[in-house]
Structure 1
């Protein structure tokens, strides 16, 4: 009996040892770690995909390898890239996804966004952006002052105080906004300027497609109405005939209060914005040491910003897009299921009552 138990135990141990054997995992040296991907429009059924793969020191004379393929399926494109690179493709280090303006307007960006969103190896904090011309040219462009385009894009699309006008859209942000019934998505809009790349404006989306852009100043007002505490520096030009003034204001703090009349048939929104900022530089005829001139300048700035906000809201009304999420101030009082049709009804017919109060904290440099 003891001999029988011994043989049974031995067989179990041998089987367990055989089952515990694992295939060796791929090392980093055996993988091509994609950092950035660009998508350009070819046709309704085909997209040009460009991937950027940073190289470790000593492995290649090139700092970055780029591969482009035309494909109808993203995963098929990765297979083709793997054959070109000679290594298995990995998305663990993916940081940036770029779309050309043509692709964003003609195709459904959310289809690609959802593909990566469902991939467990891809993080949700990947930054998304639109490129004015070909997105491929951004990754392959020869920019002398930019040794690593991947690190440059990663830094460019990170939130900073002087660029807080930008939404800095992540993969999660885009999916969340585009599937929401009370708001629309937006993305930074990049342009290649001489030897650098800049965020020149902000792209607005509806139904997964880009429809229009708004300026950086307009986007800053969107961020203000969304409740962002600190805004990007503001440049203002006041023109009253012969009396022309130029101002640069920084360290802008924002407080906003928005209320609706809760009426879907005749929607109204009251928007009160209170701003505080330091007047870093001023060029004009006012003597800001005098209390009267200083108070007049504050009043002029308040009226100027108020008019800009009203112009922006009128533009959003015509486009029937809601990047702020105004519809939510009506949805919270609505009994029933809310949908995009109700959001469209609100945005196309809402009446805005806007008031802006701008307080200057100091006078800075006066010219």
Structure 2
């Protein structure tokens, strides 16, 4: 009998606790699950914060609700938006953070990203994007072919082999680069063009500020120099030869070898790239059914890519940034602590020797 009474007491207690906790839970209808956050520069004190909140189909006249406020602090802005939306803002489903170019050049990006990074409810794979004009305009715009804006934006920044831009920078990637004395940060650069969004380049950061952009083609070369084994398709347009006009190469395999002279005071790097791929389209005067013509084209491709890499390295050196991380080839031989100053010393004075060896595996459509 005592056992039965004890069991009833335990069950009663559990039921009471369960009811209490259930009563404290927030209803799903009271929550606003933010998918994207946009931040635009206003002045030294204020930022313009915009959030987009996807809505279930059939429960709202719009598929995405968008709210904007001016604020001096991130959390303050989220609280103000919660009041305006009459729902509690939740960041568990956050996928994308957009900064407009002016904000990125103000040097305030790191502080904002660190705020989100410290929030345990936010995943480290949230993507970062730099917007040419206003982030608010991107989040408020209509995209007829992609009616659910948040899904469109999220899909745009999911890694795919055939995407012409890279990298797909996450919160975790940004923090890792900022804490490293070796690498400088790269973030996709977005532009709204009429009724669609387009990645038109990559933003380069020197420490905490955006300093310039590079093209998608240049970004692809950086991935090759980092040792990425499988590269996105490369479009090559020849300028210095009458025989060849342009071609598109796919299924590109890359083998990178870099050798340094280990001398920080007079740094030199030998860079060797072995590439092979399939030419899927070619415009030119060569008959690529003939082996000797293939060999001549390979030589032209070698010269072209090597020249593009040399021009890119010169451009990066003039801007005093190294997103590739070439100073690592000197740090590994350095005794003592490696510093940002040593990285800058290598960047400013490094001499590069570039060798490219390209092999045609197959040919597709020829013109």
Distance 1:17 1:333, change over 3 A: same
Distance 1:16 1:296, change over 3 A: closer
Decide whether the 8 Å contact of 1:274 with 1:357 is kept in 2: yes
SS of the equivalent of 1:337 reads: coil
- The answer to whether 1:74 aligns with 2:69 is no
| Structure 2: distance between partners of 1:236 and 1:330 | 32
What is the root-mean-square deviation in Å for CA atoms of aligned residues?
A: 2.0
By how many angstroms is 1:28 displaced?
A: 2.0
By how many angstroms is 1:339 displaced?
A: 1.2
Distance 1:18 1:145, change over 3 A: closer
Gaps of 5+ in 1: 1-10
| Structure 2: distance between partners of 1:338 and 1:163 | 35
Distance 1:95 1:272, change over 3 A: same
Deviations 1:69-117 (A, max 9, x none): 0000000000100001001110000000001011101232111100000
Corresponding residue of 1:24 = 24
Decide whether the 8 Å contact of 1:165 with 1:231 is kept in 2: no
Corresponding residue of 1:87 = 87
Corresponding residue of 1:6 = none
Corresponding residue of 1:128 = 128
SS of the equivalent of 1:76 reads: helix
Corresponding residue of 2:357 = 357
Decide whether the 8 Å contact of 1:165 with 1:223 is kept in 2: no
By how many angstroms is 1:239 displaced?
A: 2.7
SS of the equivalent of 2:353 reads: strand
Corresponding residue of 1:319 = 319
Q: Normalising by structure 1, report the TM-score.
A: 0.93
Pairing 1:114-263 to 2, within 5 Å after superposition: 114-163=114-163, 165-240=165-240, 242-263=242-263
Decide whether the 8 Å contact of 1:281 with 1:364 is kept in 2: yes
Deviations 1:184-233 (A, max 9, x none): 01001111123211111100011211101111111000001111111111
Decide whether the 8 Å contact of 1:164 with 1:231 is kept in 2: no
| Structure 1: distance between partners of 2:355 and 2:230 | 19
By how many angstroms is 1:40 displaced?
A: 0.4
SS of the equivalent of 1:364 reads: strand
Distance 1:238 1:72, change over 3 A: same
By how many angstroms is 1:27 displaced?
A: 2.8
Decide whether the 8 Å contact of 1:178 with 1:206 is kept in 2: no
Decide whether the 8 Å contact of 1:233 with 1:248 is kept in 2: yes
By how many angstroms is 1:281 displaced?
A: 0.7
Distance 1:294 1:32, change over 3 A: same
SS of the equivalent of 2:50 reads: strand
Distance 1:50 1:263, change over 3 A: same
By how many angstroms is 1:16 displaced?
A: 9.9
SS of the equivalent of 1:161 reads: coil
| Structure 2: distance between partners of 1:158 and 1:284 | 35
Corresponding residue of 2:5 = none
By how many angstroms is 1:168 displaced?
A: 0.4
By how many angstroms is 1:14 displaced?
A: 10
SS of the equivalent of 1:220 reads: helix
Pairing 1:295-306 to 2, within 5 Å after superposition: 295-306=295-306
Deviations 1:18-67 (A, max 9, x none): 88853522132210000000000100111000000011233311111000
Segment drifting more, 114-123 vs 235-244: 235-244
By how many angstroms is 1:328 displaced?
A: 1.0
Decide whether the 8 Å contact of 1:250 with 1:280 is kept in 2: yes
| Structure 1: distance between partners of 2:127 and 2:12 | 50
Deviations 1:270-319 (A, max 9, x none): 11111111000111111112222110000000110000000000011011
SS of the equivalent of 1:362 reads: strand
Decide whether the 8 Å contact of 2:201 with 2:213 is kept in 1: yes
Corresponding residue of 2:110 = 110
| Structure 2: distance between partners of 1:217 and 1:155 | 21
| Structure 2: distance between partners of 1:54 and 1:277 | 42
Distance 1:291 1:337, change over 3 A: same
